[in-house]
Amino acid sequence: MGKVLSIAVGKAKRFNVENRAQRVISQEKPTPAPKYDANVKDLQRILEQHPEIVDEVNRKSAELDDRLKKVFVTSSEYVDQRRIINPEKPLPVNRKYVEDFEFGFKEPEPEKVALGKCTLRQAIQFLSDHQLDGGKWTAEKIAQEFKLKQDNVQNILDHFHMFNIHISKKEGKAKKYLLDDYRERSGKIDETLKGTRKF
């Protein structure tokens, strides 16, 4: 029911709207909005104190008219100053792809690692060493080697392990490729850890 009523009210408001608008526009002087009593009293007080204001408002000022005639507006195309290239500060031109780091983030230099801490590369190295030869690389030796707490190293060795690659004997070329790749990667790890190991 509410929707029907709102549609009917809307149509009644729009009925003959063009003629009503034309009637209002064609009036010689539109009727001003009613003023508040306080505003009317203020206007009367000002007119009593300064009657010359009415003449000043209705009089056309020749000086202001001359000034208005001298005003010219010129427009030009907007140029974004931020887009203008400064030859003293050129933008970088190198758009080469930046290769990702091996472990997904930049590692600190081994010399800059704080005592009691180790890098991810060092952790992978001592985990793989312990997994390959647990008798030689014990928690105590690893703790001395990398200056870590023995309890922490023991917990790491207990809870973390390296992945093992199991290749069947039937796959000749794939086995050779994977083993060569593994040796190459482990060689890279050994190369970077040469400075940190004490043999």
pLDDT, mean of each 10-residue run, the chain (199 residues): 79 85 83 88 90 85 89 81 77 80 84 88 90 89 91 92 72 64 61 44
Q: What is the pTM of this model?
A: 0.40
pLDDT of 166: 66
Report yes or no on 83 lying in a domain: no
pLDDT of 108: 87
Identify whether the C-beta of residue 125 lies closer than 8 Å to the C-beta of residue 189. yes
Q: Are residues 114 and 187 in the same domain?
A: yes
Q: Are residues 60 and 114 in the same domain?
A: no
Identify whether the C-beta of residue 88 lies closer than 8 Å to the C-beta of residue 82. no
Q: Are residues 116 and 180 in the same domain?
A: yes
Q: Are residues 114 and 67 in the same domain?
A: no
Q: Are residues 182 and 124 in the same domain?
A: yes
Name the domain boundary from 17, 46, 71.
71
CA distance 125 to 131: 10
**What residue numbers bound the domain in which 45 lies?**
34-71
Q: Are residues 123 and 59 in the same domain?
A: no
Identify whether the C-beta of residue 94 lies closer than 8 Å to the C-beta of residue 125. no
Q: Are residues 58 and 114 in the same domain?
A: no
In single-letter form, the type of residue at position 41 comes to K
Q: Pick the closest to residue 143 from 132, 155, 152 (CA basis).
A: 152
Identify whether the C-beta of residue 92 lies closer than 8 Å to the C-beta of residue 123. no
Report yes or no on 178 lying in a domain: yes
For the chain, the domain total comes to 2
pLDDT of 55: 85
Q: Are residues 181 and 125 in the same domain?
A: yes
Distances from the Cα of 180 to the Cα of 37, 48, 102, 157, 186, angstroms: 99, 107, 18, 27, 10
